[in-house]
Amino acid sequence: MLQRVLMAVGRVLLAVLFAAGAAQKLAAPELVQDLLAGRGWPVWLVWPAAAFNAAGALALVAGWRLAPVALSLAVYCMVTSLFHFVPGDGWQMSIFVKNWAVAGGLLVLAGAAWEPRE
């Protein structure tokens, strides 16, 4: 019982992060577009990123296909961390490290949710 409650609370807390990311991208897309452009990526990627964040948040809350969703969100965190790798800027580096920590939590969630195949 306790494990189910902890997993549900953990999923919701992770989902809040991705829901907030979707809301931020929709409310102020230019912030993310600047990051994308600064790295030479197409600025239109802000829209699929917002959709992915929102869908990931909903899937985490619902527990839908939890292992593959958590794994894909972990990879997303790893990739997006690169936008914040600015060694001279402590704030950006804290976001970089946070993304890797969230990715680690998502990998643990994916591992806990993975159904072994027999």
Digitized pLDDT (tens) for each residue of the chain, 118 residues in all: 998 999 999 999 999 999 999 999 999 999 999 989 999 999 999 999 999 999 999 999 999 999 999 999 999 999 999 989 999 999 999 999 999 999 999 999 999 998 765 5
Q: Can you give the residue range of the structural domain that contains 97?
A: 1-114
Q: For residue 104, give Cα distances in angstroms to 29, 31, 75, 101.
A: 27, 26, 10, 5
Statement: the pTM of the whole predicted model exceeds 0.85: yes
Give me the number of domains the chain comprises.
1
Using DSSP's 3-state secondary structure scheme, residue 14 falls into helix
